[in-house]
Structure 1
Amino acid sequence: MKLRALALSLTLFAPVAALAEDSQAHAHLQAMSQANRSLDYSGRFLYQFGAEVSTMEVSHAVINGEEYQRLTHLDGRLVEVLRRGDEVICVHPDRSLTRMQKSQAGPMILAQRLTEDVPAQYNILVDGDGRVAGRHVTQLRVAPLDTHRYGYRLWMDNESSLLLKSEVVDGSGVALERVEFVSLDLEPNLTLSHFEIPESLRESELQPLSEDHQSTLMSVEAEWLPAGFEAADQDWRSADGRRQPVAAQGYSDGLAAFTVFVEAVGKGAVEEGVSRVGPTVAVSRRLTAPSGAYLITLVGEVPQATAERVIEGISVRDARH
């Protein structure tokens, strides 16, 4: 999840104007963060990811102090993502479901990551006004201070402060991902029944490993991370009984995020390489460590050069030593 830089004033009042502008931009971001978490709304939006464009429907409500959200793909095969408090469930076309983390909740994730405090590695600026879905909006730009992360352009509804349009942009200002509302209802009258999990679903086997499992004794570490990125808790899980457990180590600077996956491969051949779709890059490398051979894969919304530098410094070691 870029706005044009404000021209620098040459008057004596330039520092005062800059401070006022910065304060206004942060006030907008604070209002947007609050609105996206607290308001009831429904609508339809276009989701552009690389060359692909999808139409989606979203419903959001706060019921008994808990956030509920339903995302539904309106074209192609039916896929839904349901959020019920801290629980996030993806319903697949084959009627199976997978439980996910909130940080993996689909194209609206930027709105969820937004907080009133912008990470120190970004500047936020007001960049004029406009219209989205027939509504008047204020445009904001979140600009990175280095080349290790993407920038964001944001369009905030003037009436509700909801984020109505967002773009993830590269260093040249080209949009790599876009979410844009085409309709919005601020009085949807949603109830718990709207967020019920469909019946007759089978849950994918994705179980946490026991603490004494051999895989949980391995530690994934990064020699280098871009400034501001911090590691989350490492998560080892087994997808099914036929595959080796996979480690997932997440990293985030508060807006951008990527995950390093590690899977033991023994002496077998593995496919290394790089692929990109929109702002998401996937880089895979084989790693030989004292504890064995692994396939290391980094997936996330960071520039390719950043991903490759991070993955070159990934190490796997026995946590007991």
Structure 2
Amino acid sequence: MRFLSFALGVSALLGQSAWADAQDWLLRLQAAEQQTGFHGAFVYERNGSFSSHEIWRHVASNSVQERMLQLDGPAHETLRTNGRLTCMNGSLVSPLIEERWSVRNLDTRQLNQWYEMRVAGNSRVAGRAAVVLALIPRDQHRYGFELHLDRETALPLKSLLLNEKGQPLERFQYVEFQEGASLAMVQPSQQCEPVEVRDSRQLSEKSWRSDWLPAGFVLNQIVEQRASAEAAPVAWLMYGDGLARFSIFLEPLGDAQIADVRSQLGPTATVSRRLSTANGDLMVTVVGEIPVGTAERIALSMRSESGNSSQ
């Protein structure tokens, strides 16, 4: 009996130690995203498609500039300043590639409620020593992550997004990586055209509500945007749990006829449905790194501020 109690105590201590180690690496990652410049080349794979990219990040006081080129397929160049797209050449092939592993405000104690976090071992990526961090979801409404963090900088050299069977839905992996990048490296080419910032305004958090959300997901932002001066305004709600994210778009339909949409492309679910309100019909679209069944349930739960809506 004493041995059993001792064994349980040791197991609990080991579990706490594993969580503390994982927490430390996540906090180092968050700091590195804002403090460390680098340049390198990476490959991106999703749903059977494969592309390669070159990237430079320059960090100065209060400014993070990131330039990226697509090396195969359609010509594509982007420049981001403090996360905002400022110029581009070509079409945005995949927002997921653009965001990669973008900085997030990580609350590790909150994350521990939704993911089991632990250091899973060591690896070597792009010729550099890395530590493998596993984040295993505690429910069916989010995916798992496997992060290979550079031991020197704590930046992700490789990341996998995994389904409930542990199979990869998305792979991001550096083949070349070096710390440091000069300001000259992030200067865009002449073909990179400035991006016009669309007008938007903040909406009240009470403008829209959802009767159901997966536990742990909170509203990060709610805005209204117009594609042009003549276009109808579209409400955009952004939710996250610290790792996974999804967006909800609510677009007036007028007399337009649309069919419901339900699709899954790699880790990205897209669900669209018609919502009738007192102010007319809307198209509700949920897009994000969540299972399609979860996205569908979110779309079905959306309600207008007045609550006067129907299926």
TM-score calculated relative to the size of structure 2: 0.86
Matches within 5 A, 1:220-235: 220-235=208-223
**Displacement of 1:195:** 3.0
Change (3 A) 1:231 1:140: same
Alignment partners' CA distance in 1, 2:289 and 2:210: 17
Alignment partners' CA distance in 1, 2:132 and 2:194: 43
Cross-structure match for 2:10? 13
Q: Secondary structure at the match of 1:147?
A: coil
Change (3 A) 1:115 1:266: same
**Displacement of 1:162:** 1.8
Q: Does 1:194 align with 2:217?
A: no
Cross-structure match for 1:206? 198
Number of corresponding residues? 297
Judge conservation of contact 1:79–1:90 (CA < 8 Å) in 2.
Answer: no
Q: List alignment gaps of at least 5 residues for structure 1.
A: 1-8, 98-103
Alignment partners' CA distance in 1, 2:206 and 2:241: 24
Alignment partners' CA distance in 2, 1:116 and 1:297: 28
Cross-structure match for 1:178? 171
Q: How big is each residue's C-alpha offset from its partner over 1:251-309, in whole Å with a ceiling of 9 and x where there is no partner? A: 11111111111111123211311122110111000111111001111111111111011
Judge conservation of contact 2:143–2:164 (CA < 8 Å) in 1.
Answer: yes
Q: List alignment gaps of at least 5 residues for structure 2.
A: 1-5
**Displacement of 1:172:** 0.7
**Displacement of 1:39:** 1.2
Cross-structure match for 1:42? 39
Cross-structure match for 1:132? 125
Matches within 5 A, 1:5-154: 10=7, 13-85=10-82, 87-89=84-86, 91-93=88-90, 106-113=97-104, 115=106, 117=108, 119=111, 120-154=113-147
Give the AA of the match of 2:290: V
> Please, what is the CA RMSD of the aligned residues?
2.7
Alignment partners' CA distance in 2, 1:60 and 1:124: 28
Identity %: 29
Alignment partners' CA distance in 1, 2:287 and 2:83: 23
* 239-248 or 167-176: bigger deviation: 239-248
Give the AA of the match of 1:306: T
Q: Secondary structure at the match of 2:108?
A: coil
**Displacement of 1:316:** 2.4
Judge conservation of contact 2:40–2:178 (CA < 8 Å) in 1.
Answer: yes
**Displacement of 1:132:** 0.9
Q: How big is each residue's C-alpha offset from its partner over 1:159-202, in whole Å with a ceiling of 9 and x where there is no partner? A: 222210001111111111111000011244x11x4334555736
Judge conservation of contact 2:272–2:286 (CA < 8 Å) in 1.
Answer: yes
Q: Secondary structure at the match of 1:262?
A: strand
Change (3 A) 1:155 1:217: closer
